[in-house]
Amino acid sequence: MTQPLALDLDHVGVAVRDLDVGERAFRKLGFTLTRRSFHRGSRAPGAPIEEWGSGNHCAMLEQGYLEIIGLTDPAKFSSVKPMLDMYEGTHIVAFKPKSVRHVHDVLAARHLPVDDIRELERMAAYGPDGQEQRRVAFHNMYWTRSHFTEARLQYTEHLTPDTMWQPHLLEHPNGAVSVSRVFLCAPEASHVARKLAPMLGVNPRPVSDGEYDLRLSSSEVKIVTPAVWNKWSPGTALPPLPAPVGLAVGVRSLAETRSYLAQRGIAPLDGLESGIWIDPKDACNTVIYFFGARD
């Protein structure tokens, strides 16, 4: 594989049962969040765009972003419902393509299981005072869920990046600058690594027994067995596997991040690769690792 299809992680989404609780938790962790936005989209490729019963807050970073997504109207259609039926925590793993149409055509030509491209949009607050509303639009291409049970895997192409990455949203009290990694846990980690690799256009790299990396330009997917994950986050409970179990954020200074969290009453734990991590109870049932990006 000489030409990667995925440039980087685009965003990682955490599904929460109570969006108010999720918003408070991630603000306490030191993330600057967008104002609440409500989803609109097509239920199926080519279907009309309609109001959905879900909303989100996003932590926009210099590289990628985090999405805290939850139900706002249980009576309406939402892609969040089946996620929460399984567990609360990390579900969405979205990759950045150069062109979602190009990626779709390449994967379809290789007879790999992808859905047709869908249009999604929502209105978002614009400007430091948030008084203006502007449309945010995406093209999403989901990896066929019946085949890829590991996560809600997708490619996302942003049609309105200037509305998403507004300068005032990129400054975070915890020093966050990038989404650097997502962790997938599976009993057969090697099998999952080989399964996902062609969809990204990269080769899996074995790190140790039961640990494999799919490396992109400045981020990666780390696929681990439960035994290996217990080394990364000892004693944490696992969702039904295979599943995403955590994510990693690059920060300007790990010392400053550690100090900020301690001041907020959150005790970070020392982890692997000189990182620190947050207990899932403080982050809506997901493990968040912090790594020094510029120390």
Angle at 287 between CA 285 and CA 288, to 5 degrees: 125
Q: Which pLDDT tens digit goes with each residue over 155-179?
A: 999 999 999 999 999 999 999 999 9
Q: Please provide the average confidence, as pLDDT, over all residues in the chain.
A: 94
| Shared-domain flag, residues 220 and 139 | no
Count the Cβ atoms, other than its own, within 10 Å of residue 155: 27
Is residue 26 classed as helix, strand or coil in its secondary structure? helix
pLDDT at 168: 96
Establish if 242 belongs to a structural domain: yes
Look at 5-9, 36-40, 174-178, 207-211 and tell me which has the smallest mean pLDDT.
36-40
| Shared-domain flag, residues 110 and 163 | yes
Calculate mean pLDDT across residues 187-210. 97
pLDDT above 80: residue 196: yes
Give me the amino acid identity at 276: I
| Shared-domain flag, residues 165 and 277 | no
Question: Which residue range(s) make up the domain with 219?
Answer: 176-292
Comparing C-alpha atoms, which of 167, 177, 75, 172 is closest to residue 128?
167
Confidence of residue 144 (pLDDT cuts 50, 70, 90): very high
For residue 213, give Cα distances in angstroms to 2, 208, 239.
Answer: 17, 10, 21
d(CA 35, CA 124): 7
**HSE of 288 in the Cβ direction (CA atoms, 13 Å)?**
31
| Shared-domain flag, residues 132 and 259 | no
Comparing C-alpha atoms, which of 190, 95, 213 is closest to residue 152?
95
Backbone dihedral angles phi then psi of residue 252, each to the nearest 5 degrees: -65, -45
Calculate mean pLDDT across residues 131-152. 94
> Of 153, 169, 185, at which residue does a domain stop?
169
pLDDT at 295: 42
| Shared-domain flag, residues 160 and 260 | no
pLDDT at 195: 98
Establish if 1 belongs to a structural domain: no
| Shared-domain flag, residues 162 and 226 | no
> Of 111, 134, 169, at which residue does a domain stop?
169
Q: Which pLDDT tens digit goes with each residue over 105-131?
A: 999 999 999 999 988 888 889 999 988
Strand partners, 123: 135
For residue 45, give Cα distances in angstroms to 76, 82, 92, 103.
Answer: 18, 19, 19, 16
pLDDT above 50: residue 198: yes
Listed in sequence order, the residues at least 6 apart from 276 whose beta carbon sits closer than 8 Å to its beta carbon are 254, 257, 258, 268, 269, 270, 289, 290
pLDDT above 90: residue 267: yes
pLDDT at 89: 97
* 50 or 80: which leads in pLDDT: 80
Confidence of residue 287 (pLDDT cuts 50, 70, 90): very high
Strand partners, 243: 185
pLDDT at 2: 56
Calculate mean pLDDT across residues 193-202. 98
> Of 134, 169, 204, at which residue does a domain stop?
169
| Shared-domain flag, residues 52 and 157 | yes
Confidence of residue 233 (pLDDT cuts 50, 70, 90): very high
Cβ contact 204:194 at 8 Å: yes
| Shared-domain flag, residues 150 and 41 | yes
Cβ contact 98:7 at 8 Å: yes
Bridging pattern class, strands 65-71 and 49-60: antiparallel
| Shared-domain flag, residues 35 and 163 | yes
Establish if 128 belongs to a structural domain: yes
| Shared-domain flag, residues 103 and 148 | yes
Confidence of residue 294 (pLDDT cuts 50, 70, 90): low
